[in-house]
A and B are shown apart, each in its own frame.
Chain A
């Protein structure tokens, strides 16, 4: 990890593949929890696939703190500087005691998508799927680390931090991503948003973390989500490190 601070409210972190430590078990728990007999076969395939990610591949995470914020209870809105976010009710409840917020963007780069698409082109769909999952796990781990970084900074100010929340989850409209990138002046952590609100590189994540003295850290944000069959629900890589 190599933290860097462009200014006192903005923080950039870079991780190597070794530091992020994606292991076959991270992926196996997503693919076949009830198929233990297949685990050995999957393990060897996944281990080989993870070898395709160079050890010096850079994972990036950037976050910015904002203290000029206000909440509008009636419509579950959060105003940050001059930008108004429309939150979901559940998200609003979790962060409305915040006195500061942090927005973050993390990316695993293009490598997972590139490798996955190459396997798709060769009709190696299982490998394509497993590499795609590995990329999703990477961004999940990055978001957890970003939350850990913000918790540490909040602690130094005598405050606490919430878990992370992302547009597209917890009832928060995916279109809100546009506002995050506007607030962060377009490109952040090397990630851009296209006209369809899709981040480039694709294996990226953006989100919000609340900071305050009276906030509560919700260990498992999956309980806010209505998608009960999501394969990422309640899995361990989301734990904050």
Chain B
């Protein structure tokens, strides 16, 4: 059992999605996260254990390696994809209640900004951290964020901006969200964003990398 969980861990850490995926070369022709997770469930390992010990812990390591510049965006994307392949097998257990998400995270790139790669990366890492992610896409207006928070009252919101010019729209989005939902946490990120800017606009947390956001969420909003 432990061996199978370790293999799931390794397949996600290394970005081995399934048997046919070419990455990483050293795991060529071996089972990936997809097959291993299916096998683990078949062998009776509890979905929560697979999720916590095999999947979430692997993504945590991936996030930390990225923060330390030991891996780069492509490796992280491959790991996230492997995580997603494994997650497909766990999703039915979320519905049945046998496995639980940590909460709901709503994410989008702010109005006027069409950049989505950084936002996607954060979304995948947070989903890999055990959260349900609602991705609103790019060029998201404040009222859209507000309406989705309305549907998920306990959610946390993540805002992304890649341009100094669209940071102004981030400021407005935070202001509008905080006016309507002062208790909902708002995390911000993106290349030009800083913690100083976060303080000025009244957001709750800024992280320069995806793992910082995951850690903040998983630590109960401390960071």
Interface on A for B, CB 8 Å cutoff?
31-32, 35, 37-38, 40-42, 44-45, 113, 116-117, 120, 123, 125-126, 128-130, 132, 168, 173-175, 194-198, 202, 229, 231
Task: Output the least CB separation between A58 and chain B (Å).
Answer: 22
Task: Output the least CB separation between B39 and chain A (Å).
Answer: 23
In the complex, what distance in Å separates the CA atom of A31 from the CA atom of B26? 19
Q: Which of B23, B81, B116, B117 is the one whose CB lies under 8 Å from A41?
A: B23
Task: Output the least CB separation between A204 and chain B (Å).
Answer: 13
Task: Output the least CB separation between B105 and chain A (Å).
Answer: 17
Q: Please, what's the 1-or-0 string for B134-174, where 1 marks a CB less than 8 Å from any CB in chain A?
A: 00000000000000000000000000000111100100000
Would you call A175 and B120 a contact (CB within 8 A)?
A: no
Would you call B112 and A126 a contact (CB within 8 A)?
A: no
- State the majority secondary structure of interface residues on A: helix
Query: Is B73 close to A, CB under 8 A?
Result: yes
Task: Output the least CB separation between A192 and chain B (Å).
Answer: 14
In the complex, what distance in Å separates the CA atom of A128 from the CA atom of B164? 23
Would you call B165 and A125 a contact (CB within 8 A)?
A: no
Q: Which of A128, A130, A174 is the one whose CB lies under 8 Å from B163?
A: A174
Q: Which of B78, B84, B124, B164 is the one whose CB lies under 8 Å from A168?
A: B164
Query: Is B25 close to A, CB under 8 A?
Result: yes
A-B contact pairs, 15 of them (CB 8 A): A31-B73, A32-B74, A120-B116, A125-B77, A125-B120, A126-B78, A129-B73, A129-B117, A168-B163, A173-B164, A175-B165, A196-B169, A198-B112, A198-B113, A202-B114
Contacts A125-B80, A125-B120; is A196 near B163 (CB within 8 Å)?
yes
Would you call B69 and A229 a contact (CB within 8 A)?
A: yes
Taking CB atoms and an 8 Å cut-off, the chain B residues in 6-32 that contact chain A are: 22-26
Interface on B for A, CB 8 Å cutoff?
22-26, 69, 71-75, 77-78, 80-81, 84, 112-114, 116-117, 120-121, 124, 163-166, 169
Q: How many contacts A-B (CB < 8 Å)?
A: 79
Contacts of B23 in A (CB 8 A): 38, 41
Would you call A130 and B22 a contact (CB within 8 A)?
A: no
Closest 8 pairs (CB-CB, A-B)? A196-B112, A197-B165, A41-B22, A126-B77, A174-B164, A31-B74, A125-B77, A196-B165
Could you say which of B71, B124, B164 has the most chain A C-beta atoms within 10 Å of its C-beta? B164
Would you call A117 and B116 a contact (CB within 8 A)?
A: yes
In the complex, what distance in Å separates the CA atom of A44 from the CA atom of B78? 16
Q: Which of B73, B84, B166, B169 is the one whose CB lies under 8 Å from A123?
A: B84
Would you call B165 and A126 a contact (CB within 8 A)?
A: no
Q: Which of B80, B124, B163 is the one whose CB lies under 8 Å from A197?
A: B163
Contacts of A117 in B (CB 8 A): 116
Q: A38-B75, A42-B74, A123-B84 are in contact. List 13 more A-B contacts (CB 8 A).
A: A31-B74, A37-B24, A41-B25, A44-B22, A45-B22, A113-B114, A125-B80, A126-B77, A126-B78, A129-B117, A130-B74, A174-B163, A198-B112
Q: Which of B24, B114, B121 is the one whose CB lies under 8 Å from A198?
A: B114
Would you call B78 and A32 a contact (CB within 8 A)?
A: no
Would you call B124 and A125 a contact (CB within 8 A)?
A: yes
